[in-house]
Amino acid sequence: MTDKDHATTETGRDGPDHFVRDIIREDLASGRVTDVVTRFPPEPNGYLHIGHAKSIGLNFGMAAEFGGRCNLRMDDTNPVKEEMEYIEAIQDDLNWLGYDWGGTTLYASDYFQQLYDWAEHLIETGNAYVDDLSADEIRAYRGTLKEPGRNSPHRDRSVDENLDLFRRMRAGEFPNGAKTLRARIDMASGNINMRDPVLYRVLHEAHPRTGDAWCIYPTYDYAHGQSDAIEGVSHSLCTLEFADHRPLYDWLIECLPTPSTPKQYEFARLNLTHTMLSKRKLMQLVKDGVVDGWDDPRMPTLRGMRRRGIPAQAVRDFARDIGVARADSVVDYAFLEFCTREYLNRHALRRMAVLKPLKVVIENYPEGESELLDAVNNPEDEGAGTRPVEFSRTLYIERDDFREDPPKKFFRLAPGREVRLRYAYFITCTDVIRDESGKVVELRCTYDPASRGGDSPDGRKVRGTLHWVNIATAVDAEVRRFEQLFASDNPAAEEDFLAAINRNSKTVIEAAKTEPALAGEPVGAQVQFERLGYFCVDPDSTPGRTVFNEIVSLKDTWKKIQKAQK
Ligand code: ATP
Ligand code: MG
């Protein structure tokens, strides 16, 4: 298999080239590595979001492209915030995205004993010491970017004393915060991460997997690189905020008898307009009831996107096509919509649904009769075939498709005007019926029997084509339409991100009508409502009432943005 085979998915688009791929190619060519091993290391303290999809796509993508493997490793070193619920959800989301991590989920907590043994090795080689300073004191001693730090008064304890204290830390003799294990590096280093960073802290807290076995836990900086080394990870790909930690990563690997020598590389995290990608802040949206849960269709979580109806393949295409760079950037949300539309255009069946029904009576159509007309299921896919749609004297059209006083360029129905009903006939509006309040409640129309199938019988043209459903066979549906969750295009930069919420982000249409073919669609099915957009069956559906989520409209704002950029 060539690189190209991997980089190309069914969309036929190639992923852009990037520096990580170049590094791996060079490492293979120079012999620094023979097997490409990557890992995706989520901390199980929340649900995965679209930012994680970028990291997932890169890690799994590189492993697949170079015939290697990608591990899924739970970075579960902080028992305070981690839960089994998240561990299960992360695996479920990865399965949904369609990535294969070889069947075995790995856990940093599986390495606690090895990490502990290596910590003793650091003590024995003079590279770590037990400190009694509190967290605040450690901070005060650390210095600033301009000023060097100061040595802790406990820095020069003997190896024996350190070993003894560390073993007693492990045995549970000290309360939380009373002692730490710190690397002995350089309190004057220009890189603050090298000023004797904390490797272990006392934390009397049960762990979701190891229970009460431990009351000291390793820090991220200590656990991460060593876990990489244990797993034989060749390229440890992480986001830019860890660039300053790399010297520490290398220092620890250098000091320890690790079975392999992984290298860390940093890339820019994904930022998306109108979107917040921080588990902590997403959690706040859930806790404050701003959204209806982690899987709310407006959430940028993989759960939310899945419930919304965004196809896994569209997320993968998106993650690949945004590219990988070292410089921070912001991706326009419209690009995610573009990838979604691209996929659904080829795969989603076309159906007719009327969101705001307006009754139409075809006066010259015989009462009590009806007929079946052929409707195309997907013009992009001949194999999808056609289905019969029933036409009769009483129909619903979209209220927005009628105007009594049509403005310029409004080509849909108006008094005296002829339009096409999709797959059916030309109709002309002859009369408008109102209720006492003056609201239009019904249109009287005539149809031209010679225009069956929607074809012009004599070359005369109509400008508008409307979707419709037959009243007698229509089924009820609830339709939930969505806008951006945040009005601000950079909510993370707002002083109070909750104030940037778009209060119109969800609209529920209770009384929509659809053609009967939609009644039996299973949860998760994605369809196009002709002329409206793509919609997905929501799990809230009940046997008599299907609930649809709007996935994305048909309007391609991304193409407009691209044109404007050119
Ligand atoms: P958050 O800031 O949302 O809490 P995190 O970085 O703390 O995210 P982790 O569970 O530690 O979340 O992340 C797992 C992996 O996903 C890490 O390698 C991290 O760098 C990567 N990742 C997280 N957010 C993004 C993002 N927005 N773009 C790209 N990669 C990301
Ligand atoms: Mg993190």
Pocket test for ligand 1, best of 50, 56, 265, 269 (most atoms within 8 A of CB): 269
Q: Is the pLDDT of residue 480 over 60?
A: yes
Q: Is position 258 within any domain?
A: yes
Which atom of ligand 1 is found nearest the CA of 237? 18
pLDDT at 351: 98
Q: Which two tokens stand for residue 99?
A: 């990535």
**Has residue 533 been placed in a domain?**
yes
Q: Encode burial over 4-39: b for 16+ CB neighbours within 10 A, e otherwise.
A: eebbeeebeeebeeeebbebbeebbeeeebeebbbb
Domain that holds residue 358: 353-466
State the catalytic residue, choosing from 142, 155, 269, 359: 269
- What average pLDDT is seen over the chain? 95
Q: Do residues 73 and 123 both lie within one domain?
A: yes
344 and 375 fall within a common domain: no
- pLDDT surpasses 90 at 169: yes
Contact assessment for residue 539 and residue 307, using Cβ atoms and an 8 Å cutoff: yes
Average pLDDT over residues 458-477: 97
In this predicted structure, the answer to whether residue 2 has a pLDDT above a threshold of 50 is no
Helices 159-171 & 112-124 angle (0-180, nearest 10): 160
Alpha carbon distance 46, 83 (integer Å): 8
Cα distance between residue 43 and residue 108, in whole Å = 10
- Best probe residue, ligand 1, of 18, 49, 55 (max atoms within 8 Å of C-beta): 55
Give CA separation, 293 vs 93, 283, 504, in Å: 16, 9, 17
User: Looking at ligand 1, which atom is closest to the CA of residue 242?
Assistant: 20
Q: Which residue has the tokens 């991706």?
A: 331
What's the pLDDT score for residue 556?
Answer: 74
Ligand nearest to the CA of 283: 1
More confident residue, 328 or 193: 193
Q: What is the distance in angstroms between the CA of the first residue and the CA of the last residue of the chain?
A: 36
CB of 90 within 8 A of CB of 302? no
Query: What is the whole-number distance in angstroms between the Cα of residue 220 and the centre of ligand 1?
Result: 13
204 within a domain of the structure (yes/no): yes
Candidates 95, 101, 112; CA nearest to 170 is 112
DSSP β-bridge partners for residue 402: 413
**How much is the pLDDT for 561?**
77
Instruction: Convert the pLDDT of each residue in 267-297 to its tens digit.
Output: 999 999 999 999 999 999 999 999 999 999 9
Q: Using H for helix, E for strand and C for coil, what is the string for 461-496? A: CCCCEECEEECCCCEEEEEEEECCCECCCCHHHCCC
Would you say residue 218 has pLDDT above 50? Answer: yes
* pLDDT at res. 557: 76
**Distance from Cα 130 to the centre of ligand 1, integer Å:** 31
Ligand nearest to the CA of 94: 1
Q: How many residues does this entry show for the chain?
A: 566
Type of residue at 46: G
For ligand 1, whether the C-beta of 43 sits within 6 Å is yes
Q: Do residues 157 and 182 touch, judged by C-beta distance below 8 A?
A: no
Residue 2 structure tokens: 């060539």
User: Cα of 411 to ligand 2 centre, how many Å?
Assistant: 53
Q: Among this protein's residues, is 513 annotated catalytic?
A: no
Residue showing tokens 């209770």: 510
Does residue 211 sit in the same domain as residue 308?
A: no
> Are both 425 and 499 inside the same structural domain?
no
Residue 94 covered by a domain: yes
Outline where DSSP puts E strands in 413-539: 418-421, 426-434, 440-447, 465-466, 468-470, 475-482, 506-514, 526-529, 533-537
Instruction: List CB-based neighbours of ion ligand 2 within 5 Å.
Output: 43
- Per-residue tokens: 76: 């579960």
Q: Residues 249, 221: contact at Cβ < 8 Å?
A: yes
Ligand 1, atom 18: closest residue by C-alpha: 238
Give the pLDDT band (50/70/90) at residue 494: confident
Q: How far is the CA of 55 from the centre of ligand 2 (A)?
A: 12
Ligand 1, residue 56: give the atom nearest the CA.
Answer: 16
What is the mean pLDDT of the segment spanning 311-318? 98
Residue 7's pLDDT is 40
287 and 248 within one domain: no
22 and 158 share a domain? yes
157 Cα: distance to centroid of ligand 1 (angstroms): 38
Kindly tell me if the per-residue pLDDT of 243 is higher than 60.
yes
- Decide if 249 is inside a domain: yes
Which residues, in sequence order, are bridge partners of residue 162? none
Both 407 and 450 in one domain: the answer is: yes
Atom of ligand 1 nearest to the CA of 277: 3
What Rg do the C-alpha atoms of the chain give, in angstroms? 31
> Does position 482 have pLDDT exceeding 60, yes or no?
yes
- Assess whether the C-beta atom of 269 lies below 6 angstroms from ligand 1: yes
For ligand 1, atom 26, which residue shows the shortest CA distance? 51
Q: Is it the case that residue 225 has pLDDT exceeding 80?
A: yes
Cα–Cα distance measured from residue 265 to residue 224, given in angstroms and rounded to the nearest whole number: 13
**Angstrom distance (rounded) from CA 246 to CA 309:** 39
Residue in 13, 43, 205, 281 annotated catalytic = 43
Q: Note the pLDDT of residue 487.
A: 93
- CATH code at position 235: 3.40.50.620
Is the beta carbon of 52 within 6 A of some atom in ligand 1?
yes
Residue 202 located in a structural domain: yes
**493 with 462, same domain?**
no
> 93 pLDDT band (50/70/90 cuts)?
very high
Catalytic residue among 39, 54, 279, 351: 279
Q: Is the pLDDT of residue 551 over 90?
A: yes
Four-CA torsion 289, 293, 296, 299, nearest 10 degrees: 80
pLDDT at residue 13, rounded to an integer: 55
- Ordered DSSP codes for 177-241: TS-EEEE-S-TT-SSGGGSS-EEEEE----BTTTBTS-SEEE-HHHHHHHHHHHHT-SEEEEEGG
For residue 340, being part of any structural domain is answered with yes
> What is the Cα–Cα distance from 202 to 189, expressed in whole angstroms?
26
Contacts 24+ apart (CB under 8 A), 321-324: 321/13, 321/15, 321/16, 322/54, 322/270, 323/15, 323/16, 323/18, 324/18, 324/19, 324/20, 324/54, 324/58, 324/267, 324/268
Predicted confidence (pLDDT) per residue in 519-533, tens digit: 889 999 999 999 999
Same domain, 299 and 237: no
- In the chain, % of residues over pLDDT 90: 92
> Which pLDDT score, from 0 to 100, does residue 5 have?
36
Query: Exposed/middle/buried for 191, CB within 10 Å: 0-12, 13-18, 19+?
Result: middle
Domain boundary among 441, 466, 491: 466
Q: Domain boundary at 466, 489, 506, which? A: 466
Work out how many domains the chain is built from and give that number. Answer: 3
39 and 185 inside one domain? yes
Q: Would residue 146 show up in a list of annotated catalytic residues for this protein?
A: no
Q: What is the pLDDT of residue 10?
A: 47
**Final residue before a domain boundary, out of 235, 267, 299:** 267
How much is the pTM?
A: 0.93
Q: Which residues pair with 420 in a beta bridge?
A: 426, 465
Q: DSSP per residue over 360-386, as a string?
A: EEETTSPTT-EEEEEEES-TT-GGG-E
Q: Which pLDDT belongs to residue 1?
A: 30
269 in active site: yes
- Same domain for 97 and 77: yes
What band does 174 get if pLDDT is binned at 50, 70 and 90?
very high
Considering the domain architecture, whether residues 234 and 156 belong to the same structural domain is answered as yes
CA 266 to ligand 2 center in whole angstroms: 14
Give the distance (Å) from ligand 1 centre to CA of residue 324: 14
Residue with CA closest to ligand 1 atom 3: 278
Which helix or strand (DSSP H or E) is residue 551 part of?
strand 546-553
Tell me how far apart the alpha carbons of residues 498 and 288 are, in angstroms, rounded to a whole number: 10
CATH code for position 413: 2.40.240.10
**Ligand 1 atom 16, closest CA:** 52
Confirm whether 273 is domain-assigned.
Answer: no
Please tell me what DSSP assigns to residue 174: S
d(CA 269, CA 278) in angstroms, rounded, equals 11
Residue to mutate, 45, 52, 236, 249, ligand 1, most ligand atoms under 8 Å from C-beta: 52
